[in-house]
Structure 1
Amino acid sequence: MTMEHGRAAGTTRKPKVVFVLGATATGKSKLAVAIAKRFDGEVVNADKIQVHAGAPVITNKVTEEDMAGVPHHLLGVLPADAEFTAEDFRRKAGRAVARVLAAGRLPVVAGGSNTYIEELVDRDNAAFRERYDALFVWTDAEPEVLDWYVALRVDDMVARGLVNEARAVFVPDDADYTRGVRRAIGLPEMHGYLLAEREGGAGEEELLALLARAVGEIKENTCRLARAQAGKIRRLSGLEGWDVRRVDVTPVFACMKDGGAACHQETWRKLVWEPCQEMVRSFLEAPGCRPCSSIRPARR
């Protein structure tokens, strides 16, 4: 699509910004990259953990391959233990959005830290909403199905090196899990296992039991986080000026569970990508138009 985002000949429309919201594991990164590729955009990370460097598996940072050449901002740019408040995010994300727009491209703000997103959009007398038109796409799934996928994803993270990542940053005597990347689910849960491993007094069976317990806690805490995130987005959808559009990704996970990878990809294309592509196209070309019927308004 070739256009100057947020401007058309003979109009004074505000510049456009697309937000991709959603609980952890609902496919925000994939959708954000797809939108950016289709509409000549760049992604601005809005995840308060992923803004820090380190632990790419535990923090689920999008890989270079999955970025597919799309520039990403505020991803892994801070030291692992740096403080980064919501106000810091508002300033830096605001500048990133302005830079992307100045380059004639579409900013796609994506991430699960809804406190940061609310700070960007509504604080400072809602200056962001005064300056820009915003569309909020919400990837949501039924909790039971998402729980199944979260467990699957955690198992995959373990297979891809979660334990080694946690071991590499483990500090037994002064482990502060309230700062920076150490706040990520997956690090505090591993503390007991790694401590027992380092002290050397536990046998193999005890260590395996401690590891299994840690992995179980990671799954439980991730599911709990996903529910809290969905609740925050539901609240945001009721605020004035928030045009939040819910996209139900439940069938994608259900198909993955029952039909394998090919079914999953086709379902994602038909039920998520194609309607979202049309919704974003309509938003960019004709402000105020309603999305296609397969996208549901956010539940109040």
Structure 2
Amino acid sequence: MKLTMLMTQQAQPSFLQIPTGIMDLSGLRCRPQKEKVVVVMGATGTGKSRLSIDLATRYPAEIINSDKMQVYEGLDIVTNKISNEECEGVPHHLLGIVDSEADFTARNFVSTASLAMKSIVGRGNLPIIAGGSNSFIEALIDDNNYEFRSRYDVCFLWVDVAMPVLHQFVSDRVDRMVEAGIVEEVRKMYNPNCDYSKGIRRAIGVSEFDSYFRAEYSSSTDYRVREKLLSEAINEIKINTCKLACRQLGKIHRLKNVKGWKIHRLNATSVFEKHGREAEESWVEMVKGPASVVVNQFLFNFDHSRSFVPTTSTVRAEKRAAMAAATL
């Protein structure tokens, strides 16, 4: 991967100089360097999109979405799609590109994401894959032909939040989605004869409203009954989203502990326990700063297989940079 722009900003590692004649290197062959790819993983709501943009604005990078519902067009509130403003000018791929009625499989993702990676690398940029669909990520990286591993060197980042804390955040986020208009958004595409096992209708936040919308269409249904059904639908969305987070976490543990993926865990729990300026500082200290150092080590061929423990100087430097940027 061409990292000319990066190398002008980062100190290049010194290389061992071997005097001519001391060692016979005629039998050694240099292996071609693999292209670099960063993967940002985590359960729903943990801040994967935020971290991927933090990294993409630090390096010449582009982001590939690996959320199986965000690949579909429409239902932006339901699927929590990142807005154009939140993208901060970073190019995003596989975001809202598939017809809502189509079925986008892991195989489709592998072929489409592979093309996107080749295109990004061809422009001299770093591909950052971010999303909560670990089955898509696993299908891409551990393909049957070992094509990905032979072509790319990958760095895994895992944004983790303690489940009790995350569950509360998810509950509050659903309430914010209701305020943002999720009911109206789903109502526009409601069809009493639709199949909730296909396309974007598989997303959490769609089928849960079915009973409520059916009651709306029935003139004989009492107002209080409809209100009860709406409350039950919202609560069901919260429960199902928490269940999804637990499943996603279980898959990450399997990839790490069973398949042996070298995944760097970034504990973001304290970020979700704080508010305002304190939360921002905690994000820099616990997530953005450590992730940036891991990626630096990865890009410049330091040993990134070990878990990273941020030093005091690293944390302070990242915090100063973040606070300075916030005042601009």
TM-score (norm 1): 0.91
Query: How much has 1:291 moved relative to structure 2?
Result: 4.8
Amino acid in the other structure paired with 2:151:
R
Q: Which residue number corresponds to residue 213 of structure 1?
A: 232
Q: Secondary structure of the equivalent of 2:286?
A: helix
1:146-182 residue CA offsets vs partner (Å, 9 max, x unmatched) = 100000110011111100111011001x121111110
Q: Which residue of 1 aligns with 2:18?
A: none
Maintained 8 Å contact 2:264/2:308: no
2:160 maps to 1:140: yes
Structure-2 residue corresponding to 1:226 = 245
Residue 248 of structure 2 corresponds to residue 248 of structure 1: no
Separation in structure 2 between the aligned mates of residue 199 and residue 110 of structure 1, nearest angstrom: 42
Range with bigger deviation, 55-64 or 199-208? 199-208
**How many residues are matched?**
287
Greater shift in the superposed pair: 123-132 or 133-142 = 123-132
Q: 2:287 aligns with which of 272, 275, 284?
A: 272
Equivalent residues of 1:237, 1:244 under 8 A apart = yes
Q: Which residue in 2 is equivalent to 1:186?
A: 205
Q: Give 1:239 deviation, angstroms.
A: 4.8
Instruction: Indicate if the aligned counterparts of 1:20 and 1:109 stay in contact, CA closer than 8 A.
Output: yes
CA distance in 2, matches of 1:226, 1:25: 8
SS at match of 1:107: strand
Q: SS of 2:139's equivalent?
A: helix
Structure 2 counterpart of 1:164, one-letter code: E
Asked whether the 8 Å contact 1:282–1:291 carries over to 2, the reply is no
In the alignment, does 2:135 pair up with 1:115? yes
State the 1:242 CA deviation.
2.1
Matched residue type, 2:308:
C
Give the drift of 1:13: 2.1
Whether the aligned pair in 2 keeps the contact of 1:193 and 1:210 (CA below 8 Å) is: yes
- The equivalent residue for 2:314 is none
Of 241, 247, 261, the match for 2:276: 261
Alignment gaps of 5+ in structure 1: 296-300
What is aligned with 1:78? 98
Decide which moves more: 235-244 or 20-29: 235-244
How far apart in 1 are the matches of 2:63 and 2:93?
6
**Unmatched segments (≥5 aa) in structure 2:** 8-12, 16-29, 312-328
Distance 1:61 1:26 in 2: 14
**Post-superposition offset of 1:294:** 4.3
Counterpart in the other structure of 1:68: 88
1:3 to 2, 6, 17: 6
Instruction: Verify the 8 A CA contact 1:140 1:248 in the aligned structure 2.
Output: yes
Aligned 8 A contact 2:134 2:252 in 1: yes
> For residue 288 of structure 2, what is the amino acid of its counterpart?
W
Letter in 2 for 1:235: R
Is 1:283 the equivalent of 2:321?
no
Match of 1:298 in 2: none
SS in 2 for 1:108: strand
Q: CA deviation at 1:204?
A: 2.2
Aligned match for 2:309, one of 255, 274, 293: 293
* Conservation of the 8 A alpha-carbon contact between 1:44 and 1:74: yes
Q: Shift in Å at residue 23 of structure 1? A: 0.7
Separation in structure 1 between the aligned mates of residue 219 and residue 265 of structure 2, nearest angstrom: 50
State the SS of the aligned residue for 1:134: strand
Query: Normalized against structure 2, the TM-score is what?
Result: 0.84
Identity of aligned residues (%): 41
Q: Distance in 2 between matches of 1:198 and 1:20?
A: 43
* Cα pair 1:44 1:110 within 8 Å, conserved: yes
Listed as ranges, the matches of 1:154-173 within 5 Å are: 154-172=174-192
2:21 aligned residue = none
Deviation at 1:240, TM superposition (A): 4.9
1:201 to 220, 223, 238: 220
Which of 38, 43, 46 in structure 1 is aligned with 2:63? 43
**Contact 1:134 1:243 survives alignment (8 Å):** no
